[in-house]
Structure 1
Amino acid sequence: MRELAGPLKWVCWAWAAAAAAVHLYFGGFGFPEPIQMRGFHLLVFTPLLFLLYPAFKTRSPRHRPSVFDWIWAVASGVPHAWVMWNWMAVADRMEYVDPFTPTMMVLGLVAIVTILEAIRRAVEPGLAIMVAVSLAYMQWGWLVPGLLNARPFTPEEIVEASWLVPTAGGVYGPLTGIVATIIAVFVLFGCFMQASGTGRLFSNFGSAVAGRYSGGPAKVAVVTSGLFGTMSGSSVSNVITTGSMTIPLMMRVGYRPAVAGGIESASSVGGALMPPVMGAAAFVMAEITNIPYGNILVAAAAGAVLYYFAILAAVHFEAKKLGLAPVPLHEIPAWREVLADAHLVIPIGVLVWLMTERWSGNFAAFAATLSMVGVAMLRRRSRMSPWQIVNALAQAGLTMAPLAVTIAGAGIVVSALTATGMVVAFGGIIKQLAGGSLPILLVLLALTVLVLGMGIPTTPSYIIAAAIGVPQVLELGAALNVDTLQAHMFVFYFAVLADTTPPVAAAAFAAAAIARASPLMTALHSSRFAIAGFAVGFAFIYDPGIMMRGGLVQIATSIAIMAGALTLFTSAWAGWLLAPMAMPLRLLLGGTGLAVAFLHAIPDPARLALALGMLGGVAAWQLAAGRRRAGAPGAVR
């Protein structure tokens, strides 16, 4: 992002704040017509990106937009202004039946090209390439032989489908509507949480809870990053926010740079899995599936806790093996310092209560945001000045702008996949490769999502993979009564984990830059610490108790089985349970962990007994061996 100077800096700042304030107002008092709201959303955010982000990292001015940037900015706003002005005609026209006029053709091309360029600059070139490939497939897909062959499309049909079909997909499709309404207000809530000092509460709480134990800095990173993730919803921004503090602290007490970066990136990525404010993809899931967001929170809660349990276990075993010290006592905040900000939890409670009472997500976030401002006034240390309130609005606007074009680009991809029948074709290819086997289908779909996540952010990766794979999972999983939420949670988890997996892992690369470590090695360690996500993702399909379904015994058994499996995994990888382990014992524990986690043909009581028996047996053997060594002649007492 550019570092603007002079009056333009304040103009852009005020622009972002005003745009966010209007979204907050709509969230509480009702939105205009859908096409109007979507046009307004893109009108206020797309031009801003051309002023804030240079076209090229080295050749473009760093402190001011060029003449071409101004041309791009003006051009990017024209199509959306036209849609807002003519919203009634756009809403009333019959798609693919009413004439698509030359004016619409020109405006549609301008909208598509400017969104592609905004994505390239401000989000990810890989996503821009994917959108361009989707459009090219609509144009020339009829030349592709075999299963991927598509019918011919005229240029007018391509532009109309990608731009002006608000009921199906494209720039003004339902995905843009979700961002412009629900997600935008949650972004605002997250920014007000940061402005109020809730981040300080989370950081102090993490240090007070975990800092006194072996490897304390890493455990502080895990707890703090998980809490921060409820505010940001972005794994990369989470790494940058918390990693600048936790990574140097971990390295100072003895963690290798790549390991410290891996711990931080795995912890930060998990923030998108942690209720009550999960990543943007979770809100998209609620709208796509028409499942209340409160139900998604309940389904995600146990899996998120297990994810962080596994990271803490891995960090603990690593710290014991390396003999790492806790955080120095003088650096651990006293509990009275933590409790001084405890009132800032109230708005989070307001949000959760409203969501569970089935209020709309946008109103719940609106009310929680206002309550955050009011509750912060209770203590001088958290009180927000008018300047801080406006700055929180501006930061929310700056966060929303890249997200707006990201989702618009994803809408174009979904529109192309739907119009060409690629969703059916690609789904058929995966189904054919799976050969009717649900486990193989799930592995192929997980790999597809991870590959998509190499080049595009979590939300569009989830959207595209869900469109391709969920119908196949529901078809092959019918015998297990797999439902829509289970299938979508599976895809969602792997879309989130893509930020940790090599060879391209955005969160791990950001952590590597802070740690000054190898990006690839950091990504490998990040995948190791995030291993719980891979196991929990499959558990959503085979162990519904993980989603808080069934009786109390079933839920407790499913959670205990997964906790045992994850303890076996992490212990085997670190080579430590209560004492060092040789490679044969590590392989035994790792193999047992895989069996407990994935051999669902074994009855649940047997899986639980196997996990507990193996952990108890190895722990008892190590304790006995330690006593024998302590009692041996010549042993130091």
Structure 2
Amino acid sequence: MRDLAPPLKLALTLWLAAAAGIHLYFGGFGFPEPITMRGFHLLVFVPPLFLLYPARAAAPRHRPSIPDWLWAAAAAAPHAWVMANWAAVSDRMEYVDPFTPTMVVLAVLAIVTLLEATRRAVEVGLAWMIIISLAYMQWGHWLPGVLNTRNFAPAEILEASWLVPTAGGVYGPLTGIVATTIAVFIVFGAFMQGSGTGRLFSNLGAAAAGRFSGGPAKVAVITSGLFGTMSGSSVSNVITTGAMTIPLMQRIGYRPAVAGGIESAASVGGALMPPVMGAAAFVMAEITGIPYAQIVVAAALGAVLYYFAILVAVHVEAKKAGMAPMAAADIPAWREVAQDAHLIIPIAVLVWLMTERWSGNFAAFCATVAMVGIAFLRARTRMSWRAILDSLASAGLTMAPLAVSIAGAGIVVSALTATGMVVALGGIIKDLAAGSFPLLLLLLAVTVLVLGMGLPTTPSYIIAAAIGVPQILDLGSKALGVPPGDLLLPAHLFIFYFAVLADASPPVAAAAFAAAAIAKASPLVTSLHATRLGIAGFTVGFAFLYDPGIMLRGSLADILLATGIQVAALTALCAAYAGFLLRPMGVPARLLLAAAGLAAAFWHDIPDLLRLVVAAGALAVVAGAHLAARRT
């Protein structure tokens, strides 16, 4: 991103702050017509990207070029036209009313500028996926077999990709959810950072875990999980918390790649942590029609287990290496933590309003207003007008790349739906699974991880859900003997977890690469450590479908049994990898724990109680041997 000269930098800061402020206002007092809101959202956030992000590495770094200004003007034109003609756009019959030459020109401008903005500010892989989707609509009728599709007229492709607000494309429902609920939550997250809530989370993590063996690593895990409630990006999570925690971990003895892996695994998990689970969770609510509060409840225990596994992993590694806790001078006193404790109140307000079934945007609006008011109670957290402006501008800067990535994902989904490729790809995966539900899930998990190599989490989840969820509902209802409706939320959570984990999984892992840069370690080795530390994401992802208790469904006994299986399995797997439980282990003990942990986590054909006995029994045998050796 450019470091702009003061006059233009101030102008863009004010522009982004005003745009974020208007979104916040609408969240509290009501949104305009959907097509108007979507047009406004893209109008205010797409053009600035051409001024903020250079077209190439050799482009000027402190000012936009004349072509950049032309790109920005071209990006504004189609969205300004939609806002000016919102009534006609809302009333037109899709694919029936003429798609005029003016609309054709504007559609081309909208798609081309969206592609360029995506290439510059998001991921070049997403831009290529959009291009491939459009090319498939144009020339797919030449392909043989299952890939063959009907012949689309160019005007029909442009209309489907741009101006079909009820189905997909640039102005589809996905852009709608980003322009409303997600935008207001991003503003709330920015105000959390601006008010000093980040300092509260950092101090809380250090005070709670800093005194224990391997303290800095545990602080990194706790702090990154808490930061995930206000950060929409795993990479920004790494940069924010990793700059402090990675050097601390290296100082007490963690290898650079391991320190980076711990930070990236913990930062990626921020998107799994309620009450704010990132943009993809809000899209999930929009796609499924399931209230967001219900999604949060279902995902809560899985998120706790994810961080439990990372804490176990860093604990056994620290004990094995004899690592010291943090230096006493680096650990804040509890009274210092208490000085910021009032900043928890706005988060409680958010959770309460959502559990009372208020809309997400209104809950986030009230929580944001409460954050400003509550922060005013103490001088150290009081937000000045400059802090408020910076928070709004930060929110706008976060929204802009998200706006184009979601609009681009809308084009891909529109192409997949219009061509029937959703059914075709789903059929291919289903045929490869050959009626095996576990194999189907494995193929879908690999598909999502591969998509995540070139796509951000939310577009990856959207595309994979369109392909995979119908297959899970069809085959899963037969394999598990439950109605498809009962599998809707577990299926989406399964896809969601693997879309999140893709940010830390090799060979392309954005969060792990950012952590590796801080740690000065190999990006590939760092991502491998992040993957094994995030093992709970894989086990919990499958548990959503096989163990309903993990979503707090069923009786208390069902919930406790599902939780116990995961706790025992994850502890066994983490200890086996580290080679340490109560003391260093030899190869036979490690193999025993690894086999027991994998069986408990993934062998769903045996009774649940037996899975728990297998993992817990193996832990008991190894721990008993260690205790006996210690007494001897």
Give the TM-score normalised by structure 2: 0.99
Where does residue 284 of structure 1 map in the other structure? Answer: 283
Amino acid aligned to 1:220 = V
Where does residue 585 of structure 2 map in the other structure? Answer: 581
Where does residue 238 of structure 1 map in the other structure? Answer: 237
Amino acid aligned to 2:182 = I
Where does residue 521 of structure 1 map in the other structure? Answer: 525
Conservation of the 8 A alpha-carbon contact between 2:592 and 2:618: no
Where does residue 493 of structure 1 map in the other structure? Answer: 497
- SS of equivalent to 2:228: helix
Shift of 1:583: 1.5
Deviation per residue, 1:387-444 (Å, 9 max, x gap): 1111101110111000000000000000000000000000000011101111010000
The separation in 2 between residues aligned to 1:252 and 1:612, in whole angstroms, is 35
- SS of equivalent to 2:374: helix
Where does residue 27 of structure 1 map in the other structure? Answer: 27
Matched, 1:356 2:360: no
The separation in 2 between residues aligned to 1:28 and 1:390, in whole angstroms, is 19
Where does residue 48 of structure 2 map in the other structure? Answer: 48
- SS of equivalent to 1:398: helix
The separation in 1 between residues aligned to 2:263 and 2:518, in whole angstroms, is 10
The separation in 2 between residues aligned to 1:490 and 1:19, in whole angstroms, is 34
Matched, 1:36 2:28: no
Amino acid aligned to 1:383 = R
Q: 1:257-268 alignment to 2 at 5 Å?
A: 257-268=256-267
The separation in 2 between residues aligned to 1:507 and 1:393, in whole angstroms, is 25
Shift of 1:610: 1.9
Where does residue 16 of structure 1 map in the other structure? Answer: 16
Amino acid aligned to 2:394 = Q
The separation in 1 between residues aligned to 2:487 and 2:92, in whole angstroms, is 36
Q: 1:156-175 alignment to 2 at 5 Å?
A: 156-175=155-174
The separation in 1 between residues aligned to 2:543 and 2:205, in whole angstroms, is 28
The separation in 2 between residues aligned to 1:163 and 1:324, in whole angstroms, is 57
Deviation per residue, 1:149-200 (Å, 9 max, x gap): 1111111011000000110000000000000000000000000000000000
Deviation per residue, 1:472-495 (Å, 9 max, x gap): 000011132252101000000000
The separation in 2 between residues aligned to 1:146 and 1:582, in whole angstroms, is 54
Amino acid aligned to 2:549 = G
> Structure 1: which 5+ runs fail to align?
629-637
Percent identity reads 74
Where does residue 367 of structure 2 map in the other structure? Answer: 368
The separation in 2 between residues aligned to 1:148 and 1:324, in whole angstroms, is 56
Shift of 1:233: 2.3
Amino acid aligned to 2:339 = A
Amino acid aligned to 1:492 = F
Shift of 1:603: 1.5
- SS of equivalent to 1:527: helix
- SS of equivalent to 2:230: helix
Where does residue 377 of structure 1 map in the other structure? Answer: 376
Shift of 1:553: 1.1
Deviation per residue, 1:485-531 (Å, 9 max, x gap): 01000000000000010000000000000001000000000001001
Where does residue 600 of structure 1 map in the other structure? Answer: 604
The separation in 2 between residues aligned to 1:224 and 1:454, in whole angstroms, is 26
Where does residue 190 of structure 2 map in the other structure? Answer: 191
Shift of 1:626: 1.9
Shift of 1:604: 1.7
Where does residue 225 of structure 1 map in the other structure? Answer: 224
The separation in 2 between residues aligned to 1:378 and 1:556, in whole angstroms, is 41
Amino acid aligned to 1:461 = S
Deviation per residue, 1:545-599 (Å, 9 max, x gap): 0000001111011101101000000000000000111112111110100111111
The separation in 2 between residues aligned to 1:352 and 1:379, in whole angstroms, is 23
Amino acid aligned to 2:401 = P
Shift of 1:221: 0.2
Shift of 1:6: 2.6
Amino acid aligned to 2:291 = P
Q: 1:85-484 alignment to 2 at 5 Å?
A: 85-479=84-478, 480=480, 481=482, 482-484=486-488
Where does residue 533 of structure 1 map in the other structure? Answer: 537
- SS of equivalent to 1:477: helix
The separation in 2 between residues aligned to 1:603 and 1:484, in whole angstroms, is 24
Q: Pick from 586, 607, 613: which aligns with 1:609? A: 613
Amino acid aligned to 1:275 = P
Deviation per residue, 1:297-318 (Å, 9 max, x gap): 1000000000000000000011
Matched, 1:506 2:505: no
Matched, 1:562 2:562: no
Shift of 1:144: 1.1
> Structure 2: which 5+ runs fail to align?
none
The separation in 1 between residues aligned to 2:304 and 2:146, in whole angstroms, is 42
Deviation per residue, 1:204-255 (Å, 9 max, x gap): 0000011001111000000000000111021000000000000000001110
Amino acid aligned to 1:54 = P
Q: 1:615-630 alignment to 2 at 5 Å?
A: 615-628=619-632
The separation in 1 between residues aligned to 2:608 and 2:400, in whole angstroms, is 47
Shift of 1:133: 0.6
Where does residue 633 of structure 1 map in the other structure? Answer: none
Where does residue 73 of structure 1 map in the other structure? Answer: 72
Amino acid aligned to 1:322 = A
The separation in 2 between residues aligned to 1:192 and 1:134, in whole angstroms, is 38
The separation in 2 between residues aligned to 1:183 and 1:96, in whole angstroms, is 30
